[in-house]
Amino acid sequence: MADETSDNFFNEFLDDYFAESEEHLAIVRNRLLAIEQFVGKASVDSAHLDELFRSFHTLKGISAMVGLTPAEELAHKMESYLGALREGRISLLPEGFEALIEGTRTLEKVIGAYRNNESLPDIDRSSELIESLTGAKPQTGSAAETKDTEPVTETGKSTTSQQWRFVFVPGAVHAAAGVNVNSVRASLQNIGEIIRSTPLIQEGEIAFEFIVVSDASETDLAGLEKSGLTFGPLVEPSPESEVEVAGGSEPSTATASTSSAASAFVRVDLVRLDQLMLFVSDLVVSKARLETQLKSMRGSISDRDWRGLQEINAAFGKQLRDLRHGVMRIRMVPIGEIFERMRFVVRDLSRETGKTVVLDIRGADTEIDKFLVERLMDPLLHLVRNAISHGIEGEAERLAAGKSPAGHVRLRAHTAGEVVVIEISDDGRGIDTEEIAARNPHLQLFDAAGEIDAPQLLKIISTPGFSTRDQVDRASGRGVGMDVVHQAITELEGTVSLETTRGEGTLFRITLPLTLAITDALIASVGGHMFALQQSAVNEVVEIDPKSIKIMENNEIVLYRNHVLPLVRLSNVFGYEKKESGTLYAFVVGSGSRATALVVDKVLGLREVVVRSLTDPLLDIKGIAGATELGDGRPILILDAMEILSVAATN
Amino acid sequence: MKDSLATAMFSEATSNKFILFELMNTTYGVRSAFVRRLEMLENITPVPNSSATVEGVVLSRGRIIPAVNLRTRFGFPKVPFDIRTRLVIVESEGRTVGLIVDSSREFKTINEADIKLPPEGITNLNGEYLEGIATVDGRMILVLSLNEILKVGDPVSEATIDLSQKEQSDQQKVRTS
């Protein structure tokens, strides 16, 4: 049927389809885990079953709509099985539960493959498995069928104007006459405003529903029937009552109460949000401009007027911040969404490896940018897999080591200032650093005190192709895992760090910027030029007396808080003139033994800046992360502290 | 190579309007289809460790873009900027770049037929940046090949090295000639 619709029109539905199916698969995964406790029991909690049934029903419907037959077929069989469970004709046995899990996974793969334009995986095994367990089929059209509560995207529910509901069923006859969804859409646009268009499934046939607001009378619209459209006035709240489409005699049991809960959410295109964010960014710049202008007026106006203006300005600043946070919040989703998915992975893997693993989730309500969520899935997946297949020991080994028989994997998330920190830890055997050191004799893995150099270790295990396993197992790839993790996190402007203790476990810490668009930056000057540095990268701002600087070979160092702090002069890195006299200032970046002081001439202050990326290849310079402008039209470069250090190191 | 590029430019360009600018008392033209706007040069921020031809970054209509000094690009001696200095903002292949020129005050319609390939003799100087040379009303106008001007090369460092070497040799030629 796809060929009858225009590509664009269809693609819109495809995007909706993927989003929709993802939502339902998430529900399915959750509910499946919830019903696991009922395996082998006489009956299963009906709320869970109902939800599962509905989700598969919807998956079936929407898959049919996009012509993804294998998904439709599989979802249908799973729906039938759940129907049988619900009616109490069969009970939930372990093999039935397995079949549900297996079927869900296959369904996921089919939809994923379709999305990536890959060849579709075979569904036969899953499909036959679930069918064999369902038992005798009930008569079709029994009360087990729920009514179609198809996804709709509401754009408004104006009840004052006359709304018409049109249904178009594409068919060969119409196609031959040159009538397709697009032409129908066009002609409907002529008579009024289309406020909603929804694909429908009616008895396996695709139909398109259009809700149109129009002044036209019923007789005006009659002509449209020739082009295969059926229509009638829209009657809320039960538009189902007037389904004129052929074969629409499906009995319905009301399930509207639960599905209507979803309509409290609006799905928004990220592009639109970005646009909104851009407007807010412009406002921030205007605000900075206003402030500069205000300052120049001091003295030329009365104190009273000055105070009044200052007050308004301060209020404006606060409101702008609120607006900024508000817009940013729209993009934020709880990280729990991906953490919950990990439950599924953990369950699978613990089965596969025969290890008992308990997953502990903390901070699931930590909100992160939607953009990050999608890109965090793979790295997290790799880390969780690694934890179970490499980290957690078998039961015997754990008991021998005096540990609890069940392994623990912990996922934690929290926000700290401008960053979100995600930790994946296990209480397994820890990374065998000695073995890695033995395999890489040329690398200095341990420092003089015999302490493991964690960043160095991380670097080694993140090398493409690295694997501690001689045998490749299914669970955790072929040593590509950490490589992927490192790359994905770097692309998100984040960092990965590692802590591991032999026999006690391993912890990976991912640090990501909450958002990149607007940030607090420290402004400094070097050699007469202004620069900005993200405040989140700076641990401390310190004053340095030039007399206290010691020279060690080619390095300048100072003693600070009883630690040796190496100095990197930005004037050196940039080839600017060195400040000859007076107090120097430095930003302490990096932590622990890697702390370094970036020396500047002067610190000018802390400002909220809009980060603008420098995309032109002419500006692809190491150490420069972007640019900003403080409201006076003069660009200021934003430095990447870590990159500056590496530039300095290679000089 | 140069020929084919020049030919491609001729056939693709529908506009034969040119923005004219001055550099070292010579008139250059750039196809107006590529020119977004002309701006006064103010508030330029130098970018450390960038190619010598990048004078810095400027803020133009809310975007921060590189400003290339065409004098440096062509290996000419630099002069201080003054009130006649202009930034010619060009857009090509998704990139927006400002070109710093001595001055720019007019635009002109040039017949494609009047644009001749640059003579072999000047190729060694900066001929590869030229699409051709036009003579209009007794004035010589060097028509720029924007793609060549904006070329960065990959990797950047190599291009920078090539460029500086070339600039040196160019400068030497300028001096000796």
% of chain A residues with pLDDT over 70: 77
User: For residues A210-249, b (16+ Cβ closer than 10 Å) or e, as one string?
Assistant: bbbbbeeeeeebeebeeebbbbbebeeeebeeebeeeebe
Element housing B71 (H / E): helix B70-73
In this predicted model, what pLDDT tens digit does every residue of A165-223 receive, in sequence order?
A: 777 777 666 666 667 766 777 777 777 777 666 666 555 566 777 777 777 766 666 66
Q: Answer yes or no: is pLDDT of A600 > 50.
A: yes
What is the rounded average pLDDT for all residues in chain A?
A: 77
Distance, CA of A289 to CA of A282 (rounded, Å): 11
C-alpha to C-alpha distance for B152 and B103, rounded to whole angstroms: 25
For residue range A403-445, list pLDDT tens digits in order: 999 999 999 998 876 678 999 999 998 888 777 777 766 666 6
CA nearest to B174, candidates B51, B2, B54, B24: B24
CB–CB contact A637 B95 (8 Å) = no
Q: What is the pLDDT of residue B68?
A: 95
Q: Do A627 and B57 touch (CB under 8 A)?
A: yes
Phi-psi region of A609 (alpha: psi -120 to 50; beta: other; left: phi over 0): beta
At B23, is the secondary structure helix, strand, or coil?
Answer: strand
> What gap in Å lies between CA A442 and CA A88, rounded to an integer?
66
**How far is CA B87 from each of CA A61, B40, B76, B128, rounded to the nearest angstrom?**
59, 6, 17, 22
Express each pLDDT in A287-334 by its tens digit.
777 877 787 788 888 989 988 998 998 898 889 888 877 887 787 788
Residue A236's pLDDT band (cuts 50, 70, 90): very low
**pLDDT beyond 80 at A374:** no
Q: Does B96 touch chain A (CB under 8 A)?
A: yes
In chain A, what residues touch B149 (CB-CB under 8 Å)?
none
pTM, two decimals, is 0.43
Nearest to B47 among A573, A576, A637 (CB): A637
Highest mean pLDDT among A28-37, A127-136, A221-230, B21-30: B21-30
- Going by pLDDT thresholds of 50, 70 and 90, the confidence category of residue A154 is very low
Q: What are phi and psi of A534, to 5 degrees?
A: -60, 130
Residue tagged 């006649």 (tokens)? B84
Q: Which of A490, A496, A500, A493 is nearest to A510 (CA)?
A: A496
Q: Is residue A138 pLDDT above 90, yes or no?
A: no
Each as own residue / partner, the long-range contacts of residues A77-81 (CB below 8 Å, 24 or more positions apart, any chain) are A77/A103, A77/A127, A77/A130, A77/A131, A77/A134, A78/A103, A78/A104, A78/A107, A78/A130, A79/A53, A80/A131, A80/A134, A80/A137, A81/A130, A81/A131, A81/A133, A81/A134
Cross-chain Cβ contact A619/B50 below 8 Å: yes
Residue B64 clears pLDDT 80, i.e. is over it: yes
Measured between beta carbons, the chain A residues lying within 8 angstroms of B65 are 616
Q: How close, in Å, is residue B43 to chain A by CA atoms?
A: 5
pLDDT of residue A411: 94
Nearest to A130 by CA among A152, A105, A149: A105
Q: Evaluate if residue A579 carries a pLDDT over 80.
A: no
* Closest CA of chain A from B33, distance in Å: 20
Per-residue pLDDT at A234 exceeds 70: no
Does the pLDDT of residue B117 top 80, yes or no?
yes
> What pLDDT sits at residue B118?
78
The C-alpha angle A406, A407, A412, rounded to 5 degrees, equals: 130
Range in A242-246, A567-571, A616-620, B163-167 with the lowest mean pLDDT: A242-246
pLDDT score for A201? 58
The per-residue pLDDT for range B22-43, each reduced to its tens digit, is 999 999 999 988 898 899 988 8
| Closest by Cβ to A617, choosing from B56, B62, B152 | B152
Contacts of A633 in chain B (CB under 8 A): 42-43, 59
Q: Residue A137: pLDDT above 60?
A: no
How many CA atoms are closer than 13 Å to the CA of B142, on its beta-carbon side?
A: 21
Cβ-based contacts of B156 with chain A (< 8 Å): 617-618, 620
What residues 547-576 of chain A have any CB closer than 8 A to a CB of chain B? 573-576
Percent of chain A surpassing pLDDT 90: 11
A650 touches chain B (CB under 8 A): no
Give the pLDDT band of residue A448 (cuts 50, 70, 90): low
**Residue A566 in tokens:** 């190496």
Span A242-267, pLDDT tens digits? 333 333 333 333 333 333 344 466 77
Burial class (CB in 10 A: 0-12, 13-18, 19+), A318: exposed
Higher pLDDT, B80 or A374: B80
Q: Which of A283, A616, A646 to mutate to test the interface with B (most CBs of B within 10 A)?
A: A616
Q: Answer yes or no: are the C-beta atoms of A35 and A45 closer than 8 Å.
A: yes
pLDDT at B51 over 80: yes
Tell me what pLDDT residue A450 has: 67
Distance from CA of A472 to the nearest CA of B (A): 37
Residue B169 pLDDT > 60: no
Judged by a CB distance cut-off of 8 A, whether residue A169 touches chain B is no
> How does pLDDT run across A475-528, given as a tens digit for each residue?
444 344 677 788 778 767 678 888 888 888 999 999 887 765 567 788 999 988
Q: Looking at the complex, does the CB of residue B147 fall below 8 Å from at least one CB of chain A?
A: no
Q: Is B46 on the interface with A (CB under 8 A)?
A: yes
Cβ pair A576:B48 closer than 8 A: yes
Among the partner residues A573, A576, A635, nearest to B57 by beta-carbon distance: A635
* Pairs from A569-572 (Cβ < 8 Å, separation ≥ 24): A569/A599, A570/A524, A570/A526, A570/A531, A570/A598, A570/A599, A570/A600, A570/A639, A570/A644, A571/A526, A571/A527, A571/A599, A571/A601, A572/A648, A572/A651
Q: How confident is the model at residue A271 (pLDDT cuts 50, 70, 90)?
A: confident
Give DSSP secondary structure letters for B9-21. HHHH----EEEEE
More confident residue, A542 or B47: B47
Residue range A525-533: average pLDDT? 92
Cβ atoms of A201 and A169 closer than 8 Å: no
